[in-house]
Structure 1
C-alpha cells in the first residue's frame, strides 16, 4: 500500500490532486467517502483540473474536465455529459484508516 494523504487534506465535498510516483491522481470526498482516480480525462488524456486541486463543478456534485467540460459522477467516475459520455475515469483502489488515505 502507498500512503496518499491525511484525511483532513481531502475535506467533504472537496478535491485534491497528487503526484504519486509520477502518476497524477485525484481524490474527492463525498458524504464521508473518498474516491481516487487517475487525473486523466478519457477523451483526450489531459489532466482534469483548471487550477490546482479544482476538480469539481460549481455545485461540487460532479468531477469536471476543464478542457472540454465533461462531467463525471464522483461515486463511479462515469462520464454523464461531454465528449466522452459513457466512458469512465480510471479508479484506483483506496482505503482510509486513522492515519489517512492509502492506495491499495
Structure 2
C-alpha cells in the first residue's frame, strides 16, 4: 500500500506529452520567460505550437504544483521540487530502473 504522500505526488504519466515536454525544457533552461520556451517548443514540434497554448499549459502546471512563477520585468517560470522529483522518476522509469523505494514509477 502506498503512503498518502506517494498517492498525492504528481505523476508525469497523468500529463500530456506537451506538458512533459515543457517541463523538460524548463528543467534544462529554467528560470525562463515565455519567449525562449515558445522558441524551443516551436522548433521541436513540426507543426509549431501557439504561444497561448504554452501559457495555458504553464497555468495547468502551476495548478499541479509543478511550476512556479516569479515576476521581475517579465514573468519567469521555474520547476518546483515536486517537478524535479517527477522528472527524475520518469527518467528512471524510461530507463527501466527502479526508484529509491524499489518500485517502478
- Class of the TM-score when normalised by the shorter of the 2 chains: under 0.3
Q: Which structure's residues are more often strand, by fraction?
A: 1
TM-score when normalising by structure 2: 0.25
Q: Which of 1 and 2 has greater Rg?
A: 2
Q: Which structure's residues are more often helix, by fraction?
A: 2
